Structures are given as C-alpha cells and as structure tokens.
C-alpha cells in the first residue's frame, strides 16, 4: 500500500491544482472589477484565454465528447489485466466503456494546459516557468498509467488535442477576434464595469456612513 501512496497523492494534487487555478482565474475576473490596477498582473485577454482553452479542450472535447462516446476501456478494465472488456486500439470507436473512458486522458489534457499558466509570471521568467510547468504536467499525466487508468497513447493524444485548441484559440483572440473580444475593448469594458461597481459600493457605504 505504501508503494502507491506517492502516486495517489500525486493524483490528488493533479486534480486539485487545475481546479484551484481555474477558480483563481474566475476570482481574478471578479476582483478586477474592484481593483482595476490588477491589470498590471494579468490581462483580461490572457485570463479569458486560459479559461476558454480549459473549457474547450479538456472540458468539452476531451471529457464531454471523447471520454463519453469513444468507448475505449481503461487498461485495468480489459481482459489483458483481469477486466471484463476486450482491448481496443486507440483509433477504434469501441462499444465497451460507457462513460469516463480511457480515450483520451482528462488529466493528461489538463497537464498540458498547465503550460498556459506561464502567462501568470513576468515575461523574463516564462522560460523557467514553462520548464517547471511542463515537467509537472508530464508527471501528473504519466502518473495515471500507474493505476491502469490510461495507455500512453491516451496521454499523448490528449496533449496534441489540447495543444491544438490552445494554439487555435490564442490565434483567434490575437489575430482576427470579433470587435467585442479585442484586447483593448475587453480592458475598456472591464474598466467601465469596475467604475459602476465602485460607484455602487460608494453609494452603499454612504447609506451606512
């Protein structure tokens, strides 16, 4: 049992950290309405990129679509390892597992998404941050193989899918976004909302003053 304590702890960390990161991004967007100077630390565009890529990639494509409909049984569920379902190749849409299946890896997708968190650190430290986040994401991803939860192909393809989503979404936000998603428009909209929130707070304070 002690041999598995490390991998189990690592898996808990791998589940907890992305949830905390996403929660922190949401809280930042709300906090930005109260403290506009927070834009010096993270732009609205970067925050929306991180949240949007997490929702589209690991959230919708990986967990809602592929893991729920591809039907590939996890290694520990196959007859190769004492399970009840036959092994299926990665490119075969099987009818074995019905939900939360092996293809592709949700934790692998989030492990690659960690690279985007480098946007949270100053530009001068981003290369170091990418190395640290990359190693952490890779360890969290590969750790799932220790439990018989995923094949290596599940993890590698989850990285590819998440990478494609992140690159495509970043180009969408940077090159030809709709008018309302342009960086200067986003910042101005948040500033106007912050002004309204500030005025409302001052009125409430005056009532109790």
Spatial distance between the Cα atoms of 66 and 103, rounded to a whole number of angstroms: 6
Q: Of all residues in the chain, what percent carry a pLDDT higher than 70?
A: 98
pLDDT score recorded for residue 92: 86
Specify the higher pLDDT residue, 61 or 207. 61
Please compute the mean of the pLDDT values over residues 41-52 and round it to a whole number. 91
Contact by Cβ (8 Å): 175, 50: no
Please compute the mean of the pLDDT values over residues 124-153 and round it to a whole number. 90
- The structural domain count of the chain equals 1
Give the domain extent around 98. 2-207
Please compute the mean of the pLDDT values over residues 172-196 and round it to a whole number. 87
pTM: 0.88
Spatial distance between the Cα atoms of 161 and 59, rounded to a whole number of angstroms: 12
Closest CA relative to residue 191, chosen from 47, 43, 49: 43
Residue 197: CATH number of its domain:
1.20.144
Spatial distance between the Cα atoms of 196 and 206, rounded to a whole number of angstroms: 15
Q: In the predicted model, what is the mean pLDDT of the chain?
A: 88
Q: Given pLDDT bands bounded at 50, 70 and 90, which one contains residue 209? A: low
Angle at 38 between CA 32 and CA 40, to 5 degrees: 140
């Amino acid at each position: 049992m002690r041999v598995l304590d490390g991998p189990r702890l690592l898996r808990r960390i791998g589940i907890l950290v992305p949830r905390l990161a996403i929660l922190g991004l949401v809280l930042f967007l709300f906090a930005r309405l109260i403290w506009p100077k927070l834009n010096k630390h993270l732009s609205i565009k970067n925050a929306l990129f991180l949240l949007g890529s997490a929702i589209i990639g690991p959230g919708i494509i990986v967990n809602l679509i592929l893991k729920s409909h591809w039907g590939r049984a996890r290694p520990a569920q196959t007859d190769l390892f004492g399970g009840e379902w036959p092994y299926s190749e990665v490119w075969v849409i099987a009818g074995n597992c019905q939900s939360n299946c092996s293809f592709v890896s949700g934790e692998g997708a989030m492990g690659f998404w960690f690279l985007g968190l480098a946007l949270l650190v100053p530009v001068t430290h981003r290369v170091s941050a990418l190395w640290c986040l990359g190693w952490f994401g890779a360890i969290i991803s590969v750790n799932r193989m220790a439990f018989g939860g995923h094949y290596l192909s599940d993890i590698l393809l989850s990285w590819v899918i998440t990478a494609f989503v992140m690159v495509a979404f970043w180009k969408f936000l940077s090159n030809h976004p709709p008018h309302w998603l342009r960086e200067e428009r986003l910042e101005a909209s948040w500033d106007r909302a912050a002004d309204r929130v500030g005025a409302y707070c001052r009125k409430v304070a005056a009532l109790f003053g």
